[in-house]
Structure 1
Amino acid sequence: MKLLGISGTIIGSKTGIIVRRVLEEVKNKHSDIEVEYLDMMDYDVQFCDGREPSTYSEDTKKVMEMVSTADFYIIGTPIFQGSITGVLKNLFDLINPNDFRNKVMGFVANGGTYQHYLVIENQLKPIAGYFRAFVAPSYVYAHSDHFNQHNELVDSNVLERIHYLADEVVFMQKALRSNHPNLVD
């Protein structure tokens, strides 16, 4: 099983730090899970415009392939103007909705106000519902105050939520695979 962590931004480092921490937690506890990290900063992804997928640039096709072939996800975004990034929205638009169907999604986000955690509830979870994906009950939201001056996560509550999220996505994916193999294969 492959877990793909996605940092859905092309600016800043905090989102990637959180996503990678969840992936590290999974790697440390579950050696049977293949972990891959997709940092949208590393790719020049074209805007979705409805064209045939094979006509997109190599970077765009590579990202689409990485997302489409993963078995489950940790998806991260900073919150800008009370919403997910355009980069992440564009990524969702590029992927065939059937490629997310019956897969587990866990969410992480970061922002400059404590209320922005609501974006996970009011935007990301409904998007997952549209895709007919399974959503981990836990999520991680980190405020700038949760990082030290070296950009390290130091808040014990955030670190605990990372622990729970890592456990939940793996538990859910394994349970789906063992109890309902027709849903995930």
Structure 2
Amino acid sequence: MKLLGISGTITGSKTKVVVQKVLEEVQKNHPEIEVELLDLKEYDVQFCDGRDPSTYTGDTKKVIDRVKEADFYVIGTPIFQGSITGALKNLFDLVPPQDFRHKVMGFAATGGTYQHYLVIENQLKPIAGYFRAYVAPGYVYAHNDHFSATNEIIDEDVLGRIASLSEEVVSMQKGLHPDKAGYAVNK
């Protein structure tokens, strides 16, 4: 089973810190799960122009393939102007919806106001619904105040939500896809 963490931004570092922390929790408690981080900042991804996704090349193809190959996800975004980043929206546009179908998604977001957590409820969860993905009931929202000056998460409640989200996505994935979890499946 492969869990892909996606840091859906090309600027800043707090979102990556949160996503990476969720992945570390999964790896610590479930070493049998392969975890991987996809940091959009490290790739030169083309804008989606409506063509067949298989025709993209270079970094764009690499990113599409990494998303397609994952079994489940933790997806993070900073909230800018009350919305997800253009980079993350572009990624959602590039990947065929069927590649997300019946896969578990957990969400994390960072932002500068305490109300921006609503973007997870009002934008990310409906997008996952369109993909017919399964969404973890909990999520992580971290405000700028939850980080130290060196971008370490210092808020105990946020660390608790990270631990909870890590368990939720794994539990859902194993429960919904026991064939991929290494369990015997009765036919």
**TM over 0.5, shorter chain:** yes
**Equivalent residue for 1:47?**
47
AA in 2 matched with 1:101: R
Q: Secondary structure at the residue paired with 1:174?
A: helix
Tell whether the 8 Å contact from 1:45 to 1:57 is kept in structure 2 after alignment. no
Matched, 1:109 2:93: no
**Amino acid across the alignment from 2:56:** Y
**1:56 shift after superposition:** 1.9
Q: CA deviation at 1:149?
A: 1.2
Which residue type is aligned with residue 72 of structure 2? Answer: F
In 1, the alpha carbon distance for the partners of 2:16 and 2:135 equals: 20
Separation of aligned partners in 2, 1:65 and 1:11:
22
Deviation of 1:41 after TM superposition, in Å, equals 0.4
- Sequence identity (%): 71
Letter in 2 for 1:90: N
Provide the secondary structure at the position in 1 that maps to 2:126.
helix
Cα offset, 1:115, TM superposition = 0.1
Closer, same or farther in 2 for the Cα pair 1:133/1:54, shift >3 Å? closer
Unaligned runs of 5+ residues in structure 2 are 182-187
Number of aligned residue pairs: give it.
Answer: 181
Which amino acid in structure 1 is aligned with residue 3 of structure 2? Answer: L
Unaligned runs of 5+ in 1: none
1:170 alignment partner AA: V
Runs ≥4 residues deviating over 4 A: none
One-letter amino acid matched to 1:108: A
Does structure 1 retain, via aligned residues, the 8 Å contact 2:105–2:134?
Answer: yes
Whether the aligned pair in 2 keeps the contact of 1:15 and 1:77 (CA below 8 Å) is yes
Q: What do the CA deviations read for 1:79-136 (whole angstroms, capped 9, x no partner)?
A: 0000000000000000010000000000000000000000000000000000000000
DSSP 3-state at the match of 1:114: coil
Tell me the residue number matched to 1:127: 127
> Considering only aligned residues, what root-mean-square deviation do their CA atoms show, in Å?
1.3
Contact 1:77 1:110 in 2 (8 A): yes
Provide TM-score, normalisation by structure 2: 0.94
C-alpha distance in structure 2 between counterparts of 1:149 and 1:172, whole Å: 35
Instruction: Tell me the alpha carbon deviations over residues 16-65 of structure 1, each in whole angstroms, 9 at most, x when there is no partner.
Output: 00000000000000011000100000000000011132332310000000
8 Å CA contact 2:53–2:95 kept in 1: the answer is: no
Aligned-residue offset at 1:180: 10
**Cross-structure match for 2:165:** 165
